[in-house]
Structure 1
Amino acid sequence: MEAVLKHIRSPETREIFWQLVRFGFFGGLSTLIYAAVYWPIATYGQKEWPLANSATWPVAANLLGYVAAVLSGYVMHSRWSFRGHGTRGNLARTGGRFFATSLVSLGMNTFFVWLLTGPMHGPTWWPLVPAVFFTPLITFVINRLWVFA
């Protein structure tokens, strides 16, 4: 038990904990930006442009939300979430890896949008549930171990 308590109190464990807290906060802001772009376009876009295929609006809105979230997310995570972790000398390396990680995120969220609004015929807000609770956990691990290592 003492070994477990010593590990919990270690500086490395504290560092990971505070990175996760910052990642959650700034990832939450990035997710809010995604949702603020995605939901209105997915919900009201087809009403404004009725000639477009209504099934494509949620997917197009997802892509636009993704772009907004990636741009804001890179700045927030590189400057604050993972500050003091790893090296930042090569913007092309970290930026490229962050973009690759965001493609994983995009793929997961696009799958959720397609599945939940397509075959399951759910409302446009359904994909926000896994996008908010599942995708961020996966991207934290990738960002910590690969992007900002």
Structure 2
Amino acid sequence: MKIMDGLRAPSARHRALFWQIVRYGVTGVAVTAVQAVIYWILATHADFHVQTANLCGYLVAVCVGYLLHGQFTFRGHGGRDRPAARGFRFVTVSLVSLGLNAVWVWLCVTVAGWPTWSPIPAMFFVTPAIVFVLNRQWVFR
């Protein structure tokens, strides 16, 4: 008698997607941490405007993210031809990320008057989920 009657073993495609999500999580935490730390330090301790601090964190994170996601997260996924087109798509998606994070900063800090750290949870959980789908389906396809 099979222990898992009626259940099929995951396909190679599902296993590959699972490990890609794991790699995205590891890389994404690192990239998001870089962005969030730069944002928080500049907004809180260097007296930068919160949106300027967010932009500075973004600029560093987008460079780090392109390298790490391309070489680690999405390795073996999709073609690697046309690097200029892929780079353009990556920057476009990262601008979506910047926009989302700017919304979190605006809503939390400017509108609600919460502390400068308050948008960081949305930066860690909501933005990366959206960006993963866009990266997988469009950038690194």
Report the TM range for the smaller structure's normalisation: over 0.9
Quote the residue 2:110 is aligned against.
Answer: 118
Deviation at 1:136, TM superposition (A): 0.6
Query: 1:11 matched to which residue of 2?
Result: 12
Deviations 1:66-121 (A, max 9, x none): 00100000000000100000011111111110100001111100000011000100
| Partner residue of 1:97 out of 82, 89, 102 | 89
- Counterpart Cα distance in 2 of 1:89 and 1:72: 21
Cα separation, 1, equivalents of 2:29 and 2:14 = 22
The letter of the residue matching 1:40 is I
The residue identity in structure 2 corresponding to 1:36 is V
CA distance in 1, matches of 2:34, 2:139: 22
AA partner of residue 67 (structure 2): V
Alpha-carbon separation, structure 1, partners of 2:116 and 2:76: 38
| TM-score for both structures, normalised by structure 1 | 0.88
Residue type of the partner of 2:52? A
Match of 2:136 in 1: 144
Unaligned regions of 5+ residues in structure 2, if any? Answer: none
Q: CA deviation at 1:57?
A: 1.0
Between the two proteins, what is the percent identity of the paired residues? 45
Deviation at 1:16, TM superposition (A): 0.6
Q: TM-score, normalised by structure 2?
A: 0.93
Counterparts of 2:112 and 2:33 in 1: how far apart (Å)?
24
Does structure 1 retain, via aligned residues, the 8 Å contact 2:36–2:123? no
Tell me, what secondary structure is at the counterpart of 1:83?
coil
Task: Tell me the alpha carbon deviations over residues 44-73 of structure 1, each in whole angstroms, 9 at most, x when there is no partner.
Answer: 122xxxxxxxxx711100000000100000
* Matched residue count: 137
In 2, Cα distance between the equivalents of 1:146 and 1:82? Answer: 12
1:44 alignment counterpart: 45
Q: Where do 5+ consecutive residues of structure 1 fail to align?
A: 47-55
Query: Match of 1:113, as an amino acid?
Result: V
Q: Distance in 2 between matches of 1:142 and 1:12?
A: 19
Aligned ranges 1:48-87 → 2 under 5 Å: 57-87=49-79
Amino acid at match of 2:10: R
